[in-house]
Amino acid sequence: MTTVQIIGAGIHPFGRTDSRTGRDQGVFAVRQALSDAGLEWTDIECAYGGSEGAGNADIMVNELGLTGLPFINVSNGCATGGSALASARNAVASGQCDIALAVGFDKHPRGAFNAKPGDWGLPEWYGETGMMLTTQFFAMKIQRYMQLHGISRRTLGMVAEKAFRNGTLCEHAWRRSPVDLDTILNAPMVNDPLTKYMFCSPAEGAVALIIASEKKARELGADGVTIASIAVRTRPPGSFEVFAPAISVERGGKPTELASQAAYEAAGIGPEDIDVAQLQDTESGAEIMHMAENGFCADGEQEQWLAEGRTELNGKLPVNTDGGCLACGEPIGASGLRQVYENTVQLRGRGGERQVPGNPKTAYSHVYGAPGLSAVAILER
C-alpha cells in the first residue's frame, strides 16, 4: 500500500460557540486545513466526515463548493472521527485518490449525554431505573481498578490538574484556567470516586485533516506527517463496556487492547518507541486505565508515573498535551480527530508553549467510546 501523510490540519476551537452551528465549525476547520496544506477545495478528490448530533457532513459542499466529489457520511459514535480518518487513509493508500479529507464536528446540548435505551438495543427499564448513564460506567470501571491496583484518589485528581494546566497553553482548548488539586478533589461528586472536575463535558468543535499520498505530498512540498497505522476495533467477548446491564463472569479482552496491538503491529513499533500520546480521558480514571491498556505501563504503575510527572509535557511520555477531553470537552464526532490534530502539531514542532521538547518523532492517539470501540492511530515524522 502507498505510504500516506497528513499534509493539512485545521481545527475550530472547542467549547461553546453559540454563533456557529456544528457544521459551520466543520467548514471553518476544513478551510483552515486547506490553507495549512496550501490547497483549494477543488483539489480534494474525496471526503469522509460526520457528527454524532450535528447533522450530515456532506452538506458542507453547499459552503465549500459543488465540485462533484464523493463525500461519504460517517456515523460511528465515538469512533466517527477515527473511522473517517481510517476511510480517507484507505482511499489514498489504495490508490483510489491522491488527496482526501477527513472531517468531524459536533455540537451537544449542556449536561450529561442522554441516551435512549431503544437506540442501544436495551430495555426501557434500564433507563427508567437510573442505570443508563455513561458516567456511571466510567466510575465503576475505575472504582474496581483502584481497588485491584492501588490507584489513589489523589492520582485521579493529578490527571485532571495536568489536563487543565496543559489546557492553559492550548489555543483550541475550552478550559483555559488552571484548577488546583484541592479544588478538584473537593468538588461536588458526580459518580464516586469522580468529582465534577474529573469528567469532561459534552461540547462543540470541529477538526479537519487532509490526507495525501507520499508522492503527492512531495510534489506539493508539504509539511507532512506519516500515518504509520490506524486500527479500529469493537469489543471482544467478556469485555466491560458502557451500557451493560450484565457482564460475563468469564473476563475477556478489551477493544482498546485489540486496537492498540493491531496498530503497533502494523507500524512495526512498540509502546517504548512512542514520544507523545493522546489517550481517551473521558474522565481522569480513563486516562489512568488507558495508559495500561495501550501498553505504556503495567496495571498499578500509574500511581508512580503520575507522582514522578512522567506524563507531563517534559516527562518521559507526555500524555494529552492539549489538555485532552478534560480541558477541550467532548464533541463526539470531532474528539478522536482532535487527538490526531494535536499529534500532527507536536510532530511538526508547532506546539508553541505546549511543544513537547526533543523533536518527537512518533505520536500515538487513542479514542474510546460506546458501545465498546476503540480507534488507535500512530503517526511518524
Partner 1 sequence: MSIAIPVAEGLWTDEAEPRLIGGQHRITSEIVFPMPQGDAAQHFEAVPLSRTGTLWSWTSQDFRPKSPPYAGPEAFTPFLIGYVELPGQVIVETRIEGAVLADLKLGMAMELVLIEFAPGRSTFAFRPVPS
Contact residues: partner 1, CB under 8 A:
111-112, 114, 116-117, 123-133, 136, 139-141, 143-144, 147-148, 188-193, 244-250
Q: Which is nearer to partner 1, 45 or 283 (CB)?
A: 283
Choice between 178 and 245, CB closer to partner 1:
245
Give the nearest distance from C-beta 221 to partner 1 in angstroms: 51
* Count of residues making up the chain: 381
The distance in angstroms from the start CA to the end CA of the chain is 18
**Cβ closest to partner 1, residue 155 vs residue 260:** 155
Write down the least CB distance from residue 189 to partner 1, Å: 5
Give min distance, CB of 373 to partner 1, in A: 20
- Residue 229 backbone phi and psi in degrees, to 5: -165, 155
Distance separating alpha carbons of residues 146 and 141, to the nearest angstrom? 9
- Type of residue at 315: G
Q: How far is the CB of 81 from partner 1 (least distance, A)?
A: 25
User: Nearer Cβ to partner 1, position 28 or 368?
Assistant: 368
Q: 249 vs 92, 139, 235, 252, 274, CA distance in Å?
A: 43, 20, 16, 9, 34
Pick the closer one to partner 1 by CB: 134 or 321: 134
* CA dist list (Å): 208 to 175, 205, 266: 21, 11, 24
Set of cell numbers at residue 261: 496491538
Identity of the residue, 143 or 234, whose beta carbon is nearer to partner 1 in the bound complex: 143
DSSP label at residue 30: H
Residue 239 cell numbers, joined? 469485555
Taking alpha carbons only, the member of 291, 287, 278, 117 closest to residue 200 is 287
Neighbouring-strand partners of residue 199: 283
> What's the min distance (Å) between Cβ of 236 and partner 1?
14
Q: How far is the CB of 5 from partner 1 (least distance, A)?
A: 43
Q: Which is nearer to partner 1, 19 or 129 (CB)?
A: 129
Give the C-alpha separation, 151 to 190, whole Å. 19
Residue 137 C-beta: closest distance to partner 1, Å: 9
Cβ neighbour number for residue 42 with a 10 Å cutoff: 12
